[in-house]
Amino acid sequence: MIPAAFGYTRAGSVEEALRILASDAGAKVIAGGQSLLPLMKLRLAAPETLVDIGRLAELKGVRALDDGRLSVGALTTYADLMDSEARNYGVLLDAVPTIGDVQVRNRGTVGGALAHADPASDLPAVLIALDAEIVLRSTGGERTVPAAGFWEGAFVTAMRHDELLTEIVLPAPRDAAGSAYASLQQLASGYAMVGVAAVVMVGPDGTITGAGIGVTGVSDHAYKATDVEASLVGTDGSAAAGAAAAAKVVGGRSVNADIHAGSEYRAAMAVVYARRAIEAALARLA
């Protein structure tokens, strides 16, 4: 379990990190190291140079913005996230404690997990359901990508090589919104074979006025289940309505298969866990 030899640079500032990324095509950013280092030790990854951003204080911590939105620095650890106002999002409260183990949650960073883009990672589904935004910076400036458009394939994102993921912005908590995350774990790795995050908003008469459904583990990247969302909106949130909406969660996508779960089982479980997530989100409203 010894990685191949690699170069190492510790960035003293975001700007320095961005300059290195812009100039070195072989550079790879490391933050908490909880995803990258195991891959390197197994020699499944062999980056030429690691750019360590782990000590950049400006990227750490959670703060409320003036408009009520929540800014999560990319280097915020899972543990710190759960010690912040982010706890108030039921969907995060469900999902984050299931990630890794105590050591991983103390060392692993939110931004690192998102950038790593494991197709079975829990957080992408959550951020998609919340309609979060992901902030990317390069020497050329800053841009914001909606979570639903960030993941493009297995370990592939909308981020360019010269960009650094610096911040995640969560929408302001809403009244009359409930959210939940339900997942079926691959027991050895703890990653999701199927994970569904649901956010539902209801009007004064109980009608569902908005929904966000994020799905992980099912396809080659986390996705926004727009058919489910559309099916839910306008209904009364009954069990039948939830089930009918959940049935659309796969929506003709190519479904992952491995030794732990074939595509048929995964697709069936996506429906079950979508329904359970919707039910749990609605239950939080009650």
Partner 1 sequence: MVTDVLGAPVKRVEDPKFITGKGRYLDDISMPGMVHLSILRSPYAHANIKAIDTSAARLAPGVLAVFVGADIPYNPLPMAWPAGGASGIQNNVNMPRVLATDSVKWTGEGVAAVVAETPEQAVDALDLITVEWEPLPTVVDAEKATQPGAPQLHENAPDNVVFEWAVGDKDGTDAAFAGAEVVVKQRLVNNRLIPNPMEVRGDIGWYNPGTDEYTIWMSSQTPHIQRLLLAAFVTGIPEHKIRCISPDVGGAFGSKIFCYADMALVMFASKAIGGRPVKWVETRRESYQSTIHGRDHITYVEVAATKAGDVRGLRVKTYANLGGRLSTIGPGIPTTLYGRILAGPYRIPNVHCEVTGVYTNTTFVDAYRGAGRPEATYVVERSMDLLADELGLDPAEVRRRNFLPPDSFPYDNPSGLLTAVNGSKLYIDSGNYEPAMDKALAMVGYADTAAKKAEAKARGKLLGVGLSTYIEVCGVAPSKWIGAVGEGWGAAMWESSNIRVHLTGKVVVTMGTQPQGQGHETTYAQIISHELGIPMEDIVIQHSDTQGTPFGYGSYGSRTSNVGTGAALKAAAKIREKARRYAAHMLEANPEDIEIDGPSYRVKGSPDKVKTIQEIAFALDLAFDTPEGMEPYLDETAYHDTPNCTFPFGTHVALVEIDEETGVVDLVRYVAVDDVGKKINPMIVDGQLHGGIAQGIGQALWEGAIYGDDGQLLTGSMLDYALPRASWLPAFELDETVTPSPVNALGVKGVGEAGCIASTAAVANAVIDALSHLGIRHLDMPYTAQKVWGAIQAAKGGQA
Cβ-based neighbours of 100, under 8 Å, separated by 6 or more: 34, 78, 108, 190
Q: Does 230 bind partner 1 (CB under 8 A)?
A: no
**Those residues with Cβ within 8 angstroms of residue 257's Cβ, 6 or more apart along the chain or in another chain:** 263, 266
Cβ–Cβ < 8 Å for 211, 235: no
Kindly determine how many residues on this chain lie close enough to bind partner 1 according to the rule CB under 8 A: 18
If binding is defined by CB under 8 A, does position 143 make contact with partner 1?
Answer: no
Give the one residue of 57, 188, 204, 252 binding partner 1; rule: CB under 8 A: 188
When the beta carbons of 64 and 257 are compared against partner 1, the nearer one is 257
Of the candidate spans 26-34, 57-65, 200-208, 258-266, the one that interacts with partner 1 by CB under 8 A turns out to be: 258-266
> Of residues 261, 277, 278, 281, which one binds partner 1 by CB under 8 A?
261
**Segment near partner 1 (CB under 8 A), from 7-15, 51-59, 235-243, 256-264?**
256-264
Q: How far is the CB of 5 from partner 1 (least distance, A)?
A: 7
Segment contacting partner 1 (CB under 8 A): 24-32, 128-136, 183-191, 218-226? 183-191
Is there binding between residue 155 and partner 1 (CB under 8 A)? no
Q: In sequence order, what are the beta bridge partners of 177?
A: 201
Distances (CA, A) of 144 to 117, 167, 281: 17, 9, 27
* E runs forming strands in 147-230: 151-153, 156-157, 164-170, 177-185, 192-202, 208-216, 223-224
> Which of the residues 85 through 114 are near partner 1 (CB under 8 A)?
none
- From the list 18-26, 102-110, 160-168, 266-274, the region that binds partner 1 by CB under 8 A is 266-274
Task: Assess 269 for contact with partner 1 (CB under 8 A).
Answer: yes
Among 244, 265, 284, 285, binds partner 1 (CB under 8 A): 265
The reply to whether 272 sits near partner 1 by the rule CB under 8 A is: yes
The reply to whether 1 sits near partner 1 by the rule CB under 8 A is yes
User: In which element (H, E) is residue 182 found?
Assistant: strand 177-185
Helices of type H across 69-200: 78-82, 90-95, 102-107, 110-116, 123-130
Q: Residue 55 in 3-state DSSP?
A: coil
Stretch that binds partner 1, among 59-67, 111-119, 205-213, 254-262 (CB under 8 A): 254-262
Residues 135, 112 contacting (CB under 8 angstroms): no
Q: Which of 20, 36, 169, 184 binds partner 1 (CB under 8 A)?
A: 184
In the window 40-59, what residues touch partner 1 (CB under 8 A)? 42
Q: Give the residue from 237, 240, 244 showing the smallest Cα distance to 280.
A: 237
Which residue do the tokens 């990319």 mark?
74
Identify any residues that bridge with 144 across adjacent strands, giving them in sequence order. 135
The pair of structure tokens assigned to 47 is 């980056």
**Interacting residue ranges for partner 1, rule: CB under 8 A:** 1-2, 4-5, 42, 184, 187-189, 259-262, 264-265, 268-269, 272
